[in-house]
Amino acid sequence: MVCRLGGPARAGEKGEGTRAAAAGAVADVEMAVLHNGSIPAFEATKWDFKIRGMVEEQRRLSWDEFRALPQTEVKADFHCVTRWSRLDNWWKGVLFTDVLKLVKPKPEAALALMLAEQVTRQMCR
């Protein structure tokens, strides 16, 4: 699923959301839970975050190292391609711009790709 954040709130700002659902969407008060099957247990000791590719210095962070990065709160609307919106959500976490400060992108780098992977025993069978 591809979803995007909308509204005027940007990195580091605590602004107001757009106050309206996206065109053709329905405003919803509850965040939809969209997944298939059970949710695997999180194992912090097996989690790692790699920054590699067109950067001067590749980095790898453990869960504790990642959690030690600056945390930022922003207020923004959530508009999903499945035609629902949730307005005025508070989000807290590590900004991409703060992660980018850990490495120096090479001048020819134009895009960033972020991937998440969860491998469970059931997936390996």
pTM for the whole thing? Answer: 0.64
Start-to-end Cα distance in the chain: 25
pLDDT at 121 over 70: no
Rounded to the nearest 5 degrees, what angle is found at the Cα of 19, between the Cα atoms of 15 and 22?
115
pLDDT tens for 12-58 read 444 444 466 667 767 766 666 667 778 778 888 988 889 999 999 99
Strand bridging mode 26-27 / 84-93? parallel
What is the chain's length? 125
pLDDT tens for 48-86 read 889 999 999 999 999 999 999 999 999 988 888 777 888
Mean pLDDT value across the chain = 75
